[in-house]
Amino acid sequence: MGWRENWLIFFSVIICFSLLKIDFYGLDDKQSNKINLGNSATQITVSCAASLKNIMEEIKPLYEQKYSQTQLIYNFGSSGSLQRQIEQGAPVDVFISAADKQINALEKKGLLLEGTRYDLVSNKIVLIVPKNHNKNKVNITNFTDLTNTNITKIALGEPQSVPAGKYAQEVLHYYKITEQINAKAVYGKDVRQVLNYVATGNVDAGIVYLTDAKIEDEVKVVTTAPSGSHSPVVYPIAVVKDSKNPQESKQLINFLSASEIQTIFTKYGFSK
């Protein structure tokens, strides 16, 4: 191989190395900014009652569009389970419960950031039946019909950890049918599991929130529990004291409280 060929090879190597160097070190400003933005986005972990799943997922892109430097991370479950996770030190910024009980317990233990608690929305308790499954051919029109001997399975939330289950027990007590219905109870780990039991026809009826019934086409609302039959169904929200992002967490609460976002809550069946 002559000197001309060696020179061409050497020159080619130099050019390739230069191009690689430019590619590695010479990222344009837009690319660099994208990388920096991705690494610097503030993540807000929100532990939410399971009954808020659909609406919170709809709200997420609206919030992140307005606050582009913040990302919402959701953790859905029963309020009781979420409460225990926070007590055990789970890294949570904001907690939205489906009842006062769980947030009261955290507040009593000093685990909430003082002055951030706020009643976000309220809900209603309803009796539902499968829309397309009526194995026992029983016409259920009210809560007392659940005592019919042909009704054998009724889905309820676990009352110790699922607020919907606690409210259901209050309604049953109001109608003086607690023992009869609990004998037929199939308990769900959260209200969405109760809803699924009814939607799939695995039970004859169930007691859930109005907002859950509105998102499931396979169930039918039979009746709404009178307001005096149970304690108020409220969804308190608060910043967890150990939050690493307290200012952004307060910002989220303010965002959820805004009138335009409250309109979305109303669409799902929540009320103020």
Binding positions for molybdate are 51, 79, 164, 191, 209
* Residues annotated in a binding site: 51, 79, 164, 191, 209
DSSP labels, the chain: --HHHHHHHHHHHHHHHHHHHHHHH---HHHHHHHHHHHHPEEEEEEEEGGGHHHHHHHHHHHHHHSTTEEEEEEEE-HHHHHHHHHTT---SEEE-SSHHHHHHHHHTT-B-TT--EEEEE--EEEEEESS--TT-----SGGGGG-TT---EEEE-TTT-HHHHHHHHHHHHTT-HHHHHTTEEEESSHHHHHHHHHTTSSSEEEEEHHHHHT-TTEEEEEE--GGGS---EEEEEEBTT-S-HHHHHHHHHHHHSHHHHHHHHHTT-B-
